[in-house]
């Protein structure tokens, strides 16, 4: 029997989204408006102008102005990504305004529709505008963001950390050492502590609880079915007998997300797998790609980065000590950290989502975007599947009922 959250988007809702966003896309094909004021939302380098860049980058710096710029397309997936190099007049140079930027936009129809129906269109733009300025953490600086919810157009102008910090991005094939994962967890605890039970989180409609976020994803793609398909495609890396437990584990997943949506709430990265981390030229570890930001239990983020980021043997050897490192940093930053036993239970309970979301990613249908290469999916599925069994994640949830 399907759960209540396993229903699909009503046909009318999908049709309205297709009509609304498709209509804007069609009009844009005939009327290519260039961005000239801060109210505009350019989604390609062709739409950017010196006037727009001056409006969004030089506001608050009297006399500063952009003189020239160049753009370079990087890639396209869930968002369209391009680099932006900017030069300023003397006032802008004296002010130290950013010269190397990285743009993330929703340029095409599939990007806009997917992010809109998943309820995460405003995630990274909201983070850039409202939350990133309050955080002293290793993460790209944000310089401007905007969303037009009617058309699905969005843009975030970020620090180009490859240029500014010599950053290289991690994958499941990247060896992550003990000091590196501890660095990531201290950074995570720092932002969790800053927004621990902060009333501001409830003021932003783009910050949903894990349960609501999952419901949106489930209505969009049919999580249970896509995870079953993913399990078949990932059979070579799954422990024997694990796919046969699908129904029990899926019920536990739904309950675990309900648990993550109650109790002390904090700001969550929401997609804190190892592929969304990087290492700088000086060895610092940081988080990038803040599109799926949420509000909920700290353990949601913690479990995701630990179970996806470490080789299975390393996770087994270090996870107790890593949880202690995280809790100590919470206390150092002024948050009321849970005791170790309570925290360990929460960690076990939140080990299910990383496993299922990557099965669903691997199990994408032919009409859905291929968000990640197979080798990335398989690497994370192998790790998170082992964690589900090692931590007896379903039992941890069932005993909490």
Q: Give the residue-averaged pLDDT of 389-393.
A: 98
* Percentage with pLDDT > 70 across the chain: 96
Give the residue, 378 or 372, on which the prediction is more confident: 378
Phi, psi for residue 303 in degrees, rounded to 5:
-60, -35
**Please, what is the average pLDDT of the chain?**
94
Whether 266 has a pLDDT exceeding 90, the answer reads yes
What are the tens digits of pLDDT across the range 62-96? 999 999 999 998 988 889 999 999 999 999 999 99
What pLDDT is stored for residue 219 in this prediction? 86
Dist. CA 210–CA 385, nearest whole Å: 20
Provide the pLDDT confidence category of residue 293 given band limits of 50, 70 and 90.
very high
Mean pLDDT of 193-220: 94
pLDDT for 373 equals 87
Q: What's the pLDDT at 400?
A: 85
What pLDDT was estimated at residue 11?
A: 62
- Residue 367 confidence (pLDDT) above 80: no
Q: How many alpha carbons lie under 13 Å from residue 185 in its C-beta half-sphere? A: 30
Residue 220's pLDDT is 84
Tens digit of each residue's pLDDT (9 = 90 or more) over 325-349: 999 999 999 999 999 999 999 999 9
Q: What was the pLDDT predicted at 10?
A: 57
Per-residue pLDDT reduced to its tens digit, 222-264: 999 999 999 999 999 999 999 999 999 999 999 999 999 999 9
Q: Characterise 93 by phi-psi region: left (phi > 0), alpha (psi -120 to 50), beta (else).
A: alpha
Q: State yes or no: pLDDT of 32 exceeds 90.
A: no
φ/ψ (deg, to 5) at 234: -105, 20
The answer, yes or no, to whether residue 33 has pLDDT greater than 70, is yes
d(CA 87, CA 193): 37
Domains and CATH numbers, the chain: 4-162 (3.30.200.20), 167-398 (3.90.1200.10)
- Please compute the mean of the pLDDT values over residues 367-380 and round it to a whole number: 85
Q: Taking residues 114-132, what's their average pLDDT? A: 94
Is the pLDDT confidence value at 9 over 60?
no
Q: What is the pLDDT of residue 13?
A: 73
Q: Which of 59-68, 92-101, 110-119, 321-330 has the lowest mean pLDDT?
A: 110-119
pTM above 0.85, yes or no: yes
**Per-residue pLDDT averaged across 207-220, rounded?**
93
pLDDT value of position 167: 98
């Amino acid at each position: 029997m399907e759960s209540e959250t396993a229903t699909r988007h009503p046909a009318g809702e999908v049709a309205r989204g297709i009509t609304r966003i498709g209509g804007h896309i069609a009009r844009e094909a005939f009327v290519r408006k260039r961005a000239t004021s801060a109210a505009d939302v350019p989604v390609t380098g062709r739409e950017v102008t010196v006037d727009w860049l001056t409006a969004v980058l030089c506001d608050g710096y009297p006399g500063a102005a952009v003189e020239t710029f160049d753009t370079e397309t990087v890639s396209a997936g869930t968002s369209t990504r391009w680099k932006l190099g900017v030069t300023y007049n003397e006032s802008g140079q004296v002010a130290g305004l950013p010269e190397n930027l990285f743009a993330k936009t929703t340029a095409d129809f599939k990007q806009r529709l997917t992010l809109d129906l998943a309820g995460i269109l405003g995630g990274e733009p909201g983070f850039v505008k409202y939350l990133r300025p309050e955080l002293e953490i290793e993460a790209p600086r944000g310089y401007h963001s905007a969303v037009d919810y009617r058309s699905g157009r969005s843009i975030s102008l970020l620090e180009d950390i490859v240029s500014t910090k010599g950053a290289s991005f991690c994958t499941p094939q990247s060896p992550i050492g003990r000091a590196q994962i501890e660095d990531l967890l201290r950074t995570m605890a720092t932002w969790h502590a800053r927004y621990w039970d902060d009333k501001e989180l409830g003021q932003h409609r783009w910050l949903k609880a894990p349960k609501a976020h999952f419901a949106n994803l489930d209505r969009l793609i049919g999580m249970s079915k896509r995870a079953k398909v993913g399990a078949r495609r990932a059979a070579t890396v799954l422990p024997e007998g694990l796919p046969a437990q699908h129904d029990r584990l899926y019920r536990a997943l739904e309950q675990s997300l309900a648990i993550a949506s109650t109790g002390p709430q904090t700001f969550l990265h929401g997609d804190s797998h190892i592929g969304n981390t990087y290492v700088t030229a000086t060895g610092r570890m940081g988080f990038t790609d803040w599109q799926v930001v949420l509000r909920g239990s700290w353990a949601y983020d913690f479990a995701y980065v630990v179970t996806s980021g470490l080789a299975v043997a390393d996770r087994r050897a270090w996870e107790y000590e890593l949880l202690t490192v995280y809790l100590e940093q919470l206390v150092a930053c002024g948050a009321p950290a849970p005791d170790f036993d309570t925290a360990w239970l929460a960690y076990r309970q939140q080990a299910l989502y990383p496993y299922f979301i990557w099965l669903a990613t691997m199990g994408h249908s032919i009409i859905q975007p291929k968000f990640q290469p197979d080798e990335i999916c398989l690497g994370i599925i192998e790790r998170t599947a082992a964690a589900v069994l090692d931590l007896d994640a379903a039992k941890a949830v069932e005993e909490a009922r």
